Amino acid sequence: MLDRDRDRKALEQLQKVNIAGELPPSASLLDDLPKFLNETKTAYGRRIVSILEQMLEIESMTQPLHGVVWPALSLKKTDPKKYQLLWEIDKKRAFLERDLAKYRFTPRAEVAVGGDGGPSQWVTWWGPGSRKGWEKHLRMPATQALELILKLTEMGQLTRLRHCADCRKWLYARFRHQNFCSVKCQQRHYTQSPEWKAHRRAYMRRRYQEQMRNPFSMRNPR
């Protein structure tokens, strides 16, 4: 019984362990990632963008579904449309896994504090196998960008990475309904919308009619 209790406690502690990656504890991470997505110039970096686009496509396909996303053969007869959709999702997932497999992270470990007669304190983390993917004009390398995308996905925030509705640049939406990367893009998009143009035409029409009724009102305002 005592051994079982010890095992249970050890397993509970084990569940809390999450070996860290290489992401630095930086407040700029959520700004660095869109900058990377928008400005990466290497094939290595563009592959990260492609992975994100694949993940977002799969997300949009699975979002309306309920339950396990798996093309069970029983659905082929009972619900062929759903079966076909799940089969397409499964194929896209296989392509995604193929692209993810091109990235390698190496387990690392080192002693941080000596044990002074007892167990030493170790630091363990996963890091890239090489420094491949660094670009001088970016603070975030490709491996960190991928790690952050995967962590945001685990947090249920994958769709916070989206294109600006005006300039189409990548952004991280800090608010659920944020669709623009800047106020400038938001205003430009609004002034180009059919609703705004209709409002502007109606305003100019009213202004013209008022001026025709009283041509001196615009020159000599009260």
Do the beta carbons of residue 105 and residue 143 sit within 8 Å?
A: yes
- Residue 133's pLDDT is 66
- Residues paired with residue 105 on neighbouring β-strands, in sequence order: 128
Report the SS3 class of residue 123: strand
Do the beta carbons of residue 55 and residue 158 sit within 8 Å?
A: yes
Q: Say if 25 falls within a structural domain.
A: yes
pTM of the model: 0.77
- Residue 222's pLDDT is 47
Q: Say if 217 falls within a structural domain.
A: no
Phi, then psi, of 42 in degrees rounded to 5: -100, 160
Q: Say if 167 falls within a structural domain.
A: no
Q: Say if 4 falls within a structural domain.
A: no
Averaged in consecutive runs of 10 residues, what is the pLDDT profile of the chain (222 residues)? 79 82 87 96 94 97 90 88 94 96 88 90 82 83 92 94 95 92 87 64 65 63 49
Nearest-angstrom CA–CA distance, 40 and 141: 9
Q: Say if 95 falls within a structural domain.
A: yes
Q: Say if 113 falls within a structural domain.
A: yes
Q: How many domains does the chain have?
A: 1
List the structure tokens of 1: 């019984």
Do the beta carbons of residue 144 and residue 28 sit within 8 Å?
A: no
151-166 CB burial, b ≥16 within 10 A, e <16: ebbeeeebebbbebeb
Which region holds residue 57: left if phi is over 0, alpha if psi is between -120 and 50, else beta? alpha
Q: Say if 207 falls within a structural domain.
A: no
Q: Say if 49 falls within a structural domain.
A: yes
Domain holding 42, by residue range, is 18-156
